[in-house]
Structure 1
Amino acid sequence: MKKYAKLPIEFEVSLLQQELVICAAAWTDHFNTGYYTGNWSGIPLRSPQGKNHSISAGNSSSVDFADEAILAHLTYTRSVIDAIQAPKSAVRYLRLTPGSEIKPHKDFDLVFWDGFVRLHIPVLTNDQVKFSVENEILNMKEGECWFADFSKTHSVINHGETDRVHLVIDCQVNDWLRELFVNAGVIQPDESAPTEMETYDNATKLMIIEQLEAQGTKKSLAIAMNMREKMNTESLSPK
């Protein structure tokens, strides 16, 4: 599975920008104050029931979500959200002002194989925004729709002179979304969830290999050799 990908759908960004102005007075500071410096704020369009105007993330199937009243005035934005034909939880505009930074972190509850993903649609951005996933920069353009595996280390810095605003949609994986990911090359048609061993980083795998080799048994040495061969094959495979 790829760590990130531009999905094969795009939207009319000028219409999104026009409707963003309608709710421009509704920005709320992000609640994860330890995650950023500067100004990171949001406008909820769909939030947990009973928590009006909450920009909480939506990665739980046990929580009911409902549209915010302002969404009724955002006709095109509504159509963009509806174009994502998967069950949706939280939907928000998230803004990062010039000079602000979202620090490196992981969202462990956003895993495709566990049934939850987050999509980003840039509405306002500039070429000085550095959005990285595991130290790889994503070149997101306005109006595009992107997936990233946010359970991996990611960060954002806005080095530009204008706001960076994304429409962020949290949704549950269904057949429609899985087919979209297959078409985008995010996953292979017959791909399944990785084993626990496959989720380990290379440093952890090497530590396990060394421990197996230290045991010196025929079985442990065979397992260690198999792991090394697989790591070598993966390092030669195109990303």
Structure 2
Amino acid sequence: MSQPLIGISTYLESAVHWGVWQQPAALLPAGYHRLVQRAGGLAVMLPPDDAPTSAASVVSRLDALVIAGGPDVEPVRYGAEPHERTGPPARERDAWELALIEAAIAVGLPLLGICRGMQLLNVAHGGTLVQHLEGHVGPPGVFEHHEVKPVPGTLLARIAPEAVSVPTYHHQAVDRLGEGLVVSARATRDGTLEAVEVPGDTGFVLGVQWHPEAGEDVRVMRALVDAAAAARD
């Protein structure tokens, strides 16, 4: 059987170092596609689409979906006013990734949200976000590490049952949990919610606040790839 096809959402940025050009580009840190490949999947990048209604068509061609990390979700998406520390909106990406999440959930496609992706998963389920918290971001461009502890009985606990140190880089987190989601991990030092999932044995919907693509632990991504292969077969 062929390897599962794993779609990964991307940034849409002005690329400063693009040969002699500075122009919009769909970008993704290489750690994402490399992690998919190390976990046994085939990676494909999903740039924002001007017509989010095309998300269902894109999802129908995938075996699993990863919503990547990135900028802050625009607070209007969860009914809040912007905090002074909240970053500028990425409206096109918000619309596209929310459409991808909704399309994936509608058809039971295995889904993994990473950092911003987990936050969007919560927003898609009607939850809200803490717009600023301290202690989960290292120096600019450097990942912090802290320990997270999975909640027994969850999907995440089956994947990684023990407390583990993970790479993190975020200043926002889940506040009110979205409807239909459960907490599956918290930071051991301050209780920050570090993973959420849709409970049950019928599918794979998981969000993690940390960045597995910046570390060596492939278990979360391998579980997604395995779920994609099982669902396809």
Structure with larger RCO (C-alpha < 8 A, sep 6+): 1
Alignment TM-score, normalising by the size of structure 1: 0.26
Considering only CA atoms, is the larger Rg found in Structure 1 or Structure 2? 1
